A = this chain, B = another copy of it.
Amino acid sequence: MSTQSDIRAAVIGATGYTGAELLRLLHGHPRFSIGYVAGHSTAGEPIAQVLPSFLGILDGVVEPFDAEAIAERADVAFCALPHGASAPSVDALRQKGLVVFDLSADFRLADLDVYAEWYGEHGAPHRHPERVYGLVELNREAIASADLVAVPGCYPTAAILALAPILEAGLAKPAGIVIDAKSGVSGAGRKPSPKTHLPEAAEGIRAYKVGSHRHTPEIDQELGRAAGTPLKVLFTPHLVPMTRGILITAYADAAEGATVESLTAAARERYAGSPSVVVLDPGQAPDTLWIRGSNRVHLGYALDQRSGKVIAMGTVDNLVKGAAGQAIQAANVRFDLPEGMGLEQPAAWP
């Protein structure tokens, strides 16, 4: 699946869930080839031992992070490292001249003070100015020439895509937005923990990090941009007994002119041309199963007359459009490829 003119990609942090998805999507992409697979704790092990879905598909061994070696074998790097740890690695790769797509939170926030408030000290603040926020449908132009793309968080992707068009169009009011989010457990990452131990996560549901989830300032930032005024959302995540998928149900006060039709039309117009976003007809509620495993986003709008509130719903696969798929969609834009290249697959439904 590779030719001499392929764009060579490195996947850093390849053996977590997001890394696995990056490998899967790059492997199937007609114009990217995988030049380097880096992991930390798994360095030295065969890729297919760490990621058995690649048995018989990917040979090769996980290598340690080595910016020099990576620069020799790759033109672009996709970094799926933990927050805080990512910035220095991103910086090292940028110094070598690679285009970098960072899937951590380290470059998502425009304001370093806000980053400090929610995440702590930044690992490479000097690198920060060149960051570009990587939500493709809303930032294509900047991404097209970016060398450092901050791939958005999974929850923010769903929430921002659902709410931005109707805020931009002035159909929903920016104050008092509530985002009730539901996610599958893979969003927590590959590291085992009591909360994600199957007997304590399956067959039940619960909220977590109530009022304190780090995706909150990211959502504020982008929706504030869409609304043209600062705003603060109330964001509540919940852990759902399933592996993949995010559904957000957002509530906003309707503004003048908001009808189910105008809301739907605003989103359809905003996302015309996107190879990812589909806006459902009024009356249809998105279902994570319909986009699971794919780079699709389903959005749906309702208007509750009794309360005068807009209900905006959005589904993404947290590992695909919520992470790896978005990164590749952004890379398609950056490298002047058809935006949906390598991301056409529908969900494997049921």
Contact = CB atoms under 8 A, between A and B. Distances in A.
Interface of A: 1, 17, 20-21, 24, 27-28, 51-57, 176, 178, 180, 182, 184-186, 190-194, 196-208, 210-211, 216, 232-234, 236, 238, 240-245, 247, 249, 251, 278, 280, 284-294, 296, 298, 302-307, 309, 311, 313, 315, 319-320, 344-350
Contact of A21 (B28, B193, B348): B348
B242 A348 contact: no
Given A28-B345, A288-B206, A309 B185 contact: no
Given A197-B192, A249-B180, A350 B54 contact: no
A276 to B, nearest CB: 9
Contacts of A290: 52-53, 55
Contact of A242 (B1, B54, B241, B249): B241
Contact of A344 (B28, B178, B184, B233): B28
A283 to B, nearest CB: 9
Contacts of A304: 211, 234
Nearest to A320: B348
A194 B198 CA distance: 10
Contact of A307 (B176, B190, B320): B176
Most buried by B among A17, A240, A245: A240
B198 A201 contact: yes
A200 B350 contact: yes
B287 A204 contact: yes
Given A54-B346, A205-B287, 18 more contacts: A24-B345, A27-B346, A53-B290, A53-B346, A55-B296, A56-B278, A180-B249, A184-B199, A190-B199, A196-B198, A203-B243, A206-B287, A206-B289, A207-B247, A211-B303, A234-B307, A293-B293, A345-B345
Given A203-B203, A251-B251, A56 B296 contact: yes
Most buried by B among A28, A185, A197, A296: A197
A245 B205 contact: yes
